Amino acid sequence: MPDIHALSPLTSRIRVLLALLGACAALGAGAAPAAMASHSQAMFFEAPHDLLGSTGTRHKAFVQMQALGVKALRLELHWHDVALGANSAHRPHFDATNPASYRWGAYDAVLLEAQRLKWQVLLTVTSPAPKWATAARRDLVTRPDDRMFQEFMTAVGRHYAGLVSVWAIWNEPNIAGWLMPQWNSNGTPASPRIYRGLWQAGYAGLKAAGITSPKVLFGETAPFGVDRVSNARREARSEVAPLAFLREGLCLNSHYRKASTCSKLPVYGYAHHPYTYPAVQGVFYHPPERDQVTIGTLSRLSNALNLAASAGAIPAHIPMYLNEYGVQSLPNRLGVPLSQQAEYDAVSERVAWENPRVLAFSQYLLTDEGPHNGLTGYRTGLETQGGGRKPLYYGFPVPLVVSRQGSGFSLWGLVRPATGATKARVLVRSGSGGFRTLKIVSTTSSGYWSFHSSTPATSWRVSWRSPTGAVYTGPPIGAS
């Protein structure tokens, strides 16, 4: 493994609004996990610009991710990218269930390399859709055709069945940039029922591909939004709040009572993107709108899932996948200083780790996005757009959280690149002096460690040397 300090430095995410958001248990579809994970979670990494670009950028990204300790990958497969005649309003004549009818391109290269590395893959199949598969024929997200999507998912399942660990249907369907319309003319949500049809079609397509019990996540929701709008046309681009989306998509009323006309969905887990915007509000920010769900309000989602299960809409005890997340940094106006990004990211990971319902967390972006569609682009990456390393680049392999506890401090961390139990050095600094060793910690087999310290200090950091000699040293962090 190369020294983390020695690493050398195409599809853009669709974002419509600046303030919008970003280890599986063995269970069959419709069944609850045998034992809910506790103090463990898979960390999925998402780097679309790097991985779907040139062969050179893809190779570099995989080398970097390996050195950073990545062992699982999330990838979005855009229907429009691989379909024939995608920009035509008229569908070409072809067998839509046959994988040979599609141009898989860089997606194949990414998934095959992930398989070689023995990484888990979470594949989200999403818009934009081919124009011929949409109702409006003027954009790529309005009412995609369920039957056509089912046929596409059959082809996807046949092509990638052996390469994908977990499937997800549609990215952030509660946002207009990914699915339209969001609202009915009377101001009530429209997108959840459209999404339900797409989810059922996608699930059926995977079964038709020969996957007996496909592990398919429901939701993929963004964290903010509202329950209804006063003028659907004027507010057509407003998001639907995630819990309002969940209820309507599962045919539940505001009291979580299910309509008798809707069947129970064989949902494997619920996917959510628990961003907090602006990031300066902090990890533990509680939005006043009760149907919004940020990293600091995960109990809102787990409670909603419990109520939905009690109503017979989904299986009981399904896990939560926080499969897109990051902390915005400056100069994005929603961001925080670079040093604070590293701290907030580690605290967020600990919040997820402490929640036994969470089976997966994530890091969205290796390299910051550049401006696109009139927006500044997401700055949640480990590197700047120009390839400069942020403190998060060094903190990601060895995240550290220090919390005030009584007259002392509680320390928690992870050695992500480790492949088994190991030892790491925790360093401490008081005042303006240099760092000194506070403790040599022993990790669990998963790389986690924690202890309590009564030593007063102004900052802490972690250093770890891998068996091959690579040295990882995290940035200085303060106590939260």
- 230-248 residues labelled b (16+ CB within 10 A) or e (exposed): eebeebeebbbbbbbbbbb
**How far from chain centre, in Å, is Cα 335?**
18
* Residue scoring higher pLDDT (65 or 370): 65
Structure tokens at 53: 């670009």
Distance CA 100, CA 106 (A): 15
Distance CA 104, CA 449 (A): 42
Q: How confident is the model at residue 137 (pLDDT cuts 50, 70, 90)?
A: confident
> Which tens digit of pLDDT belongs to each residue from 148-197?
999 999 999 999 999 999 999 999 999 999 999 999 999 999 999 999 99
Mean pLDDT of 73-99: 97
Paired residues of 241 in beta bridges: none
Q: Going by C-beta distance under 8 Å and a sequence separation of 6 or more, which residues neighbour residue 116? A: none
Q: Going by C-beta distance under 8 Å and a sequence separation of 6 or more, which residues neighbour residue 460? A: 400, 402, 411, 426, 427, 428, 429, 438, 476, 477, 478, 479
pLDDT at 257 over 80: yes
pLDDT at 237: 75
Q: How confident is the model at residue 312 (pLDDT cuts 50, 70, 90)?
A: very high
Phi-psi region of 397 (alpha: psi -120 to 50; beta: other; left: phi over 0): alpha
> Which tens digit of pLDDT belongs to each residue from 284-295?
999 999 999 999
pLDDT at 235: 72
Point out the least confidently predicted range of 113-122, 256-265, 369-378.
Answer: 369-378
Q: How confident is the model at residue 8 (pLDDT cuts 50, 70, 90)?
A: very low
pLDDT at 19 over 60: no
* Residue scoring higher pLDDT (236 or 34): 236
Point out the least confidently predicted range of 43-52, 111-120, 159-168, 230-239.
Answer: 230-239
Cβ neighbours, 10 Å, residue 455: 12
Q: Going by C-beta distance under 8 Å and a sequence separation of 6 or more, which residues neighbour residue 443? A: 414, 415, 418, 421, 422, 423, 424, 449
pLDDT at 5: 35
pLDDT at 440 over 80: yes
pLDDT at 1: 38
